[in-house]
Amino acid sequence: MSTGRGHNHNHAHSHGHAHAHSHGVSAAAGGERAGARHRGRLAAAFAVLFVFMVVEVVVGLITGSLALLSDAGHMITDVAGLGMALAAISLADRHVAGSAATHPNRTFGLYRLEILAALANAVLLFGVAGYVLVEAVGRIGDAPEMNSGPILAAAVAGLAANLVAFVLLREGSRESINVEGAYLEVLADTLGSVGVIVGAIVMGVTGWGWVDPVVGVAIGLWVVPRTWRLAGQALRILIQAAPHGLDLDALTSDLAAIEGVVDVHDLHVWTLTSEMDVASAHLMIGVDRDAHAVLDGARTVLQERYGISHATLQVEPADHRGCDDITW
């Protein structure tokens, strides 16, 4: 996102102006990215759910229980989402400093894969929620008779597996949008297991077959708004909008208040991936001002007030001309 008048980015390294690339460590401990920090827990959750998924599919095929196979289908969705999240983190980590020479055209590496994985998880969740809602609505008026025993057993086992994954992913979901996508899938399945358990008990006691589709509708309605929020976060990053909650007017004012700065323009702030906000800006200074002091002041403002540790800053003297050529 930008403020101020339009300027040509292509001139940036051709007029002898002062530039600074501010590179700081992430706000996270040790400078490690959020997704990478929680990769171990993500892998553990993937292993737990994968093992349970295999067991449930095998038992479902042996017993011929459609309930078990249906629940296994939901578990496959979770495993697929976790797999995408892990793959995205692993691929992104291959393009940290030192590997850029292998793929010099990927100037930002593959960090955005984590955001794409989060969006894919959201699409997957929308699909599952839609399927559950459609199926549930179709069955409310004509619910088939079901044996609640196998349903209850499968739901209890599924709840145990999902609770383990839930605990493993909870912390990481607050820091990484990619982990949050996997976490929401597990959370939805956890609540689904609770709902199925309650429904199975009620059906076993009362024989009310309509309880099962009603539980399905409740689960679907709970999942949709949270999935919508996740998709919105991912799309906001992909279109390079300013980070949520960042006041661009305040940032512009703070940069303009630095001693020696007479104008701030061509300001852009966007998010590369979780915990990695990036900024670029042109700072116009008085002809007799010290560019080094201005750069140091701008870096301090960005890092300490806004948590932006990666910034490309161009300092240009007030009497310079030629930055107004761009038409977009």
CATH number for 16? 3.30.70.1350
Indicate the helix (H) or strand (E) that contains 241: none
235-237-241 Cα angle (round to 5): 100
Tokens of 149: 């025993």
Comparing 142-151, 182-191, 204-213, 301-310, the range with the smallest average pLDDT is 142-151
Residues 197 and 246 in one domain: no
Is 180 inside a domain boundary? yes
pLDDT at 308 over 70: yes
Task: Find the angle CA(49)-CA(53)-CA(57) to the nearest 5 degrees.
Answer: 175
Domain-terminating residue out of 184, 218, 238: 238
pLDDT of residue 24: 42
Q: Identify the residue whose tokens are 């991936």.
A: 273
Interval 94-106: pLDDT, tens: 655 444 455 667 6
Q: What is the side-by-side strand order in the sheet with 310-317?
A: 2-3, 261-273, 276-285, 310-317, 18-23
pTM (2 decimals)? 0.67
Tokens found for residue 189: 């399945």
* Average pLDDT value for residue range 199-211: 76
- Separation CA 195–CA 152 (nearest Å): 10
Q: Which residues contact 222 (CB under 8 A, 6 or more apart)?
A: 188, 191
Segment 34-54 shows an average pLDDT of 79
pLDDT above 80: residue 61: no
Q: How confident is the model at residue 269 (pLDDT cuts 50, 70, 90)?
A: very high
Please report, for the domain that includes residue 232, its CATH number. 1.20.1510.10
Q: Is residue 114 part of a domain?
A: yes
* Top-confidence residue, 229 or 31: 229
Task: Say whether both 6 and 53 belong to one domain.
Answer: no
Tell me the pLDDT band of 34, cut-offs 50, 70 and 90: low
Instruction: Kindly state whether residues 60 and 147 are assigned to the same domain.
Output: yes
Given the DSSP bridges, would you call strands 310-317 and 276-285 parallel, antiparallel or unpaired? parallel
- Picking from 209, 238, 267, the residue at the C-terminal end of a domain is 238
Report the pLDDT value the prediction gives residue 255, as an integer from 0 to 100. Answer: 95
How long, in residues, is the chain?
328
Tell me what the pLDDT averaged over the chain comes to: 75
Q: Give yes or no: residues 202 and 220 share one domain.
A: yes
322: left (phi over 0), alpha (psi -120 to 50) or beta: left
Q: Are 45 and 162 in contact (CB under 8 A)?
A: no
Distance CA 179, CA 169 (A): 7
Q: What is the mean pLDDT of residues 104-119?
A: 74
Helix 39-63 vs helix 177-206: angle between axes, to the nearest 10 degrees? 30
